[in-house]
Structure 1
């Protein structure tokens, strides 16, 4: 399909769009937490991918290449909102609680809702780390922040998530 896209096939472009649109939209939505912006990013990312299809070397899958475009565009939208990533030399230590598999399954929806309530900087780092599988070095490179800042944002996001979830439990 990629080769057909290089030759200008609209049908191939549509097939690639159908194949990747939902996953790429979800990536953007997790970063932006704003439906309209995620939809815009999705459209812009596909336009850019199809316009730059000749640049796709094939050393990764098309999906990974497209995902990087989506992440970069999502982060640019956040920068337009003037998100500040707070840097600190002080790293908070969080005690990890062990939970069994059943408890984790019950908390999935609660965690998803809590992530959506996080400030942009926290949500982006925790989404890239936990959901997209990037390490702190990669996140630092993507967001143009230090690795320490990425780790700090991640730890603070976890603390904020715990707080939001505790508040939610108390309000039930």
Structure 2
């Protein structure tokens, strides 16, 4: 059986990176950093940590570029590295963040100047997801936002597929519960 390879549109930049060209590494970074930072943020839920994870993931990707076989897009390959780095960062995390000052949703809505209900609801969902415990948030993010299935999540997180499904189910219930609460912001 013949192995199919993916024809990546950025193949020329990847080849230049493999040849050690720093400018090509910067080009790849510019092409993928925003999207990969968003992945980091959804998983780590911390801006500074997401920045660190992003840098760590790109360093790892450049060091291991020789393992990229073009069986999928470079973006998919890189995303796996980013997801793994973000999950490892959560595992290393020692301290929990505690909200300092909570205010009522109406005050926040007025301060933020939301123009429509859709924007307000999207922000409420985003904030509720941020309040989920790490395990729930990671599984929910990987499944809903990153498009992983439960088998893939299980493999990435080193848990069973049924544990992933269970965590996802609990995350949905907790998210609904959080969505019913008035919006409080730290």
Normalised to the residue count of structure 1, the TM-score between the two structures is 0.82
Q: Of the two, which has the highest radius of gyration?
A: 2
In the superposition, the TM-score normalised over structure 2's length comes to 0.76
Write the distance in 2 (CA, Å) between the matches of 1:45 and 1:36: 14
Q: Of the candidates 161, 166, 170, which is equivalent to residue 180 of structure 2?
A: 166
Unpaired stretches in structure 1, ≥5 consecutive residues: 83-102
Residue-by-residue CA offset, 1:84-135 (whole Å, 9 max, x unaligned): xxxxxxxxxxxxxxxxxxx877632211111011000000000000000011
In the other structure, the counterpart of 1:58 is 70
Q: Is the 8 A contact 2:90 2:134 kept in 1?
A: yes
1:123 equivalent to 2:103? Answer no
What corresponds to 1:68 in structure 2? 80
1:17 CA drift (Å)? 0.3
- The equivalent of 1:36 in structure 2 is 48
When the two structures are aligned, how many residues end up with a matched partner?
A: 151
Q: How far apart, CA to CA, are the structure 1 residues paired with 2:160 and 2:80?
A: 19
67, 92, 102: which is aligned to 1:80? 92
Given the alignment of the two structures, is residue 13 of structure 1 paired with residue 25 of structure 2, yes or no? yes
Q: Does 1:143 align with 2:165?
A: no
Point out where structure 2 has 5 or more consecutive residues left out of the alignment: 1-12, 95-116
What do you get for the CA RMSD once the two structures are aligned?
Answer: 1.9
* Deviant stretches of 4+, over 3 Å: 103-106
